[in-house]
Every structure is written in C-alpha cells, then in structure tokens.
Amino acid sequence: MNRVRSSLRDAAAPVSVKPFWQALPGIIAYPLQPAALGMLALLALLRLLDPLIGFITNYMIFSTLAIAFVHFMISMALYRYAVQALLNTSEGRLNAPEYSIGIEDHQAADQLRLQVLFVLASILIAFFAGWKIGMLTALVIALITPAATISLFMQRSLLLALSPLTWFEAMRGLGSRYLALAALCLLYALLQLAALAVLPQVLPRWLAVPLFWFVCHYTIVASFHAMGYVLLLDQSERGYVAKPDVRLPDNRHLVDADHEIQAEAEALAKHDAAAAIRLLASHIERNGGTRGTHQRYRNLLIQAGDQQALSQHSRRYIDVLMAQGAQTEAIRLFEAQLSQEPDYCPSQPEDVRPLVTAAAKLGRNGQALQLIRTSMLRFPRHSELIGNVLLGARILAEKHGDMAAARALLLEIPDRHHSHADYSAVQTYLEFLQRQQPAP
C-alpha cells in the first residue's frame, strides 16, 4: 500500500497549464495520438458493417433495427472514450487514454442523448420554421452545447444539463475562454457538415463512409478534450488541480493468478464452508489475493452470514480496489460500508482523498462529503486535511452550487494548518468564492 501511495503522489505532480490559445495546436492534434487514433479508426471501420448486416438479416425491418443497434453501440463506445478524454484532461493528464475505465455506461448514454436532442431540435425547428430560423437555432445550439456537455459531465444530470440556467452559469463561470471553446466546437461541427457534403461526391462508398465517420469521431473526441482543457485552466486559476487516479497495473490482462486456490476453496466449500473461509482468509493475509479471490471470500462470508468479518474485509478491500483502478466497484463497496458504518474512514489519511475523488466523479457527492467530515474528525492534525476540505468545498460550490456552504467548510480548517504551504490554495479558492458570493 505504501508503494500505491507513492505512485499517487508521483501522479499528482503539478501540470504546466498553457493559456488556451497557446495550447490550441496540441488540443486540435490530440486525437492523432496513437491511443486515440487507433480507437477512432477502428470505430470508423466498424461503420462499414451496414451492408453485411443487411445481407445477413435479409428483411428490411430487421435489417434497419440491427443497423441502428450496431451504430448505437459504436456511438456508446465513442462517447465513453470521449468522456474519459474529458475526465483525464480536466485532471491534467494530456495523453490520450488507452481505455475508458471508470466511465459508466449511463455517462456515455446521457452524453449521446444530449447530442441527439440538440440535433433533433435543430432539424425540427428548421422543418417547421424554415431554414433561416433553423440556421439561427443551430448557431445558438452550437454556442450552448459545450456548456450543456460540461454541466452533464460535472453534475451527472441530463435534466440539469438541459436547463438554460445551467448553461448561463457554466458560461459565466468559465468566462471569456468559453467563447473560444464554443467557436472551436462550432468549427468542428462545420467540418462534419463539410465532410458529409463532399466525401460521398468524390470518393467510393467503401472509402467515403469510414472517412466521414472518422472525421466525426475525431471532432467529437477533440471537442471533449478541449472542454476538459478549459476545465483544467479554470481549476488552475482557482489554485487547485485534481489529482489523477492510480493507473491500472501492468498485469491486468493476465489470467487470474489465484485460480488454483479459488478452485480448492470452491471444492472445500461444498462440505465445509468454514474451512473454505479460513483457507481464503489465510491466503489473503499472506499474499493479498486477486480480485477473484477477494470476491469469492466475500461470497462465502455472505452465505455464512458473518457480517462482522464482511465489514472488516470491506475496510481493507476498498483500498485494494482503489489501488487496482476499479473505482466503480470500490465506490459501490464504499456505499455499502457507509450504510453499515456511517463513520467509516480509511485507516490511513493518504487514502481518503483518492476515495473522495472517485466518489465525486461517480456522482456520490453526499458520500464524498460525509467521508470528508469523518476524516476531519479522525485526522485533525494531518496535512492531508487541507486538500480533503478543499475538495469538499469544490463539490459544494461546483456541483451543488452552494457557495456559502463551501466557504463555511473552508473556514472550519483549524488554525494550526494556516501556516502550511498548501493553505495558499485554500486562500485562493476562498477569494474565488468571495467573488462569486460576497460574505454577508
């Protein structure tokens, strides 16, 4: 675990954040990085499956449904990757991700729904009100789309992302750089339209289709990366940049190394569940165990009804899952543990912030704030308290819109921490909150 904490500290090294215009070449070229380029090219080639699906299904209605399903799944994969790019960039990781880990299906689905709703709105208004009004509407939608996308990413609510108040709040918060972002996203949308108009006219279908979709995929990922960079600039201006997550271990693709001990426990459990539990508990104590071993051990404890041992294991297993990059599973277990133990807190103060950050990313803001409060009582003298409280204030201000509560939380930091070097970030954020909502 010490090695994991060391990697967390290394990953959290400060990032050099250039102004938007200076970073623009890198922002535009972001999807050309090998990890992104391979993903976008693969998804574009998969769009050529239409004729094959039509040949296999034969019937028109089944063919249409099958083609729509395939395109939906491809779009889901694309938006999962785009949201991952937005998330990584907002945390200061400017290399394109290889995988969309930690991004749940509903996040991609909501982003896809948002884009479809905006496109449908433009089409319907143009159809019923004429092309001039339709073009004006399309321009307005192009202006608000980045604000809605960022709001959906941060607040995880499609309803809030469709609210004009949310758009204006996001635009106001991001200031003049939002106009640059919206202009760039508009150019990307025009590039998609140009590709649609030109490519089918000058290229054969087998080449025009994947090339058109590659342009679309490229512009979507580039737009999400640009949004993430604007968020990174905004955080840097406020004096706080979120720490990146732990990277997955290099052996993540290998076969479960504990398959033999698991098979032995499985056979033993058929006639002596207690002995199987002891076997796995001993193995975990000596060797740590793989996720499969931990899960089998938990299943046996659940079957035996041993809630005390299950709770004890949960406290340790949450740290293991976080170290392995399994955020979603870790947060589910964290929620379950909080329901049984409201004052739950990791045993080491260094483990609090990664867990709070993961909970906030997955929309568990209440649980994240609960853990921050508990950690303030558990580790009142530790220097990690400053970063944890600052993160809690950002959750209150930027996800709940409660500037007063955020300011009050920061003012709870004990006086003994005011001389710490990290406290300057608290002062910067207090000044930001003061500008947003002056103290009474």
Least confident interval from 92-101, 224-233, 253-262, 269-278 = 253-262
> Which pLDDT score, from 0 to 100, does residue 30 have?
92
Q: Compute the half-sphere exposure of residue 204: CA atoms within 13 Å on the CB side of its CA.
A: 2
Least confident interval from 43-47, 59-63, 306-310 = 59-63
- Are the C-beta atoms of 290 and 258 separated by less than 8 Å? yes
The whole-number average pLDDT for the span 205-227 is: 89
> Which pLDDT score, from 0 to 100, does residue 325 have?
65
The whole-number average pLDDT for the span 38-44 is: 88
DSSP one-letter string for 40-108:
HHHHHHHGGGHHHHHHHH-SHHHHHHHHHHHHHHHHHHHHHHHHHHHHHHHTT--SPPSS-TT--HHHH
> Which pLDDT score, from 0 to 100, does residue 324 have?
67
Q: Is the pLDDT of residue 53 over 60?
A: no
The whole-number average pLDDT for the span 45-51 is: 74
Q: Compute the half-sphere exposure of residue 168: CA atoms within 13 Å on the CB side of its CA.
A: 3
Q: Is the pLDDT of residue 247 over 50?
A: no
What is the C-alpha to C-alpha distance for residues 161 and 111, in angstroms, rounded to an integer? Answer: 10
- Is 306 inside a domain boundary? no
As a whole-number percent, the residues of the chain with pLDDT over 70 amount to 85
Show the CA angle centred on residue 249, arms to residues 264 and 293, nearest 5°. Answer: 20
Residue predicted with more confidence, 243 or 360: 360
- Is 112 inside a domain boundary? yes
Q: Is the pLDDT of residue 224 over 90?
A: yes
- Is 224 inside a domain boundary? yes
Q: Is the pLDDT of residue 394 over 90?
A: no
The number of folded domains in the chain is 1
> Which pLDDT score, from 0 to 100, does residue 248 have?
36
Residue 166, domain extent: 14-238
pLDDT tens figures, 363-380: 788 888 899 999 888 888
* Chain position carrying tokens 């499609």: 158
> Which pLDDT score, from 0 to 100, does residue 223 have?
92
The whole-number average pLDDT for the span 380-392 is: 87
The 3-state DSSP class for residue 12 equals: coil
* Chain position carrying tokens 């490519």: 199
- Are the C-beta atoms of 106 and 157 separated by less than 8 Å? no
What is the C-alpha to C-alpha distance for residues 293 and 284, in angstroms, rounded to an integer? Answer: 8
Q: Is the pLDDT of residue 259 over 80?
A: no
SS percent in the chain: helix, strand, coil, step 5: 80, 0, 20
The whole-number average pLDDT for the span 241-263 is: 53
Largest CA distance in the chain: 76
Rg (alpha carbons) of the chain, rounded to whole number: 25
- Is 101 inside a domain boundary? yes
> Which pLDDT score, from 0 to 100, does residue 256 have?
59
pLDDT tens figures, 67-116: 777 778 888 888 889 988 888 888 778 888 876 555 666 778 888 889 88
Q: Is the pLDDT of residue 63 over 70?
A: no
The whole-number average pLDDT for the span 176-201 is: 87
What is the C-alpha to C-alpha distance for residues 65 and 54, in angstroms, rounded to an integer? Answer: 10
- Is 203 inside a domain boundary? yes
- Are the C-beta atoms of 26 and 372 separated by less than 8 Å? no
> Which pLDDT score, from 0 to 100, does residue 311 have?
82
> Which pLDDT score, from 0 to 100, does residue 350 have?
84
What is the C-alpha to C-alpha distance for residues 316 and 1, in angstroms, rounded to an integer? Answer: 11
Tokens representing residue 203 in the block? 């290229």
End-to-end CA distance of the chain, in Å? 45
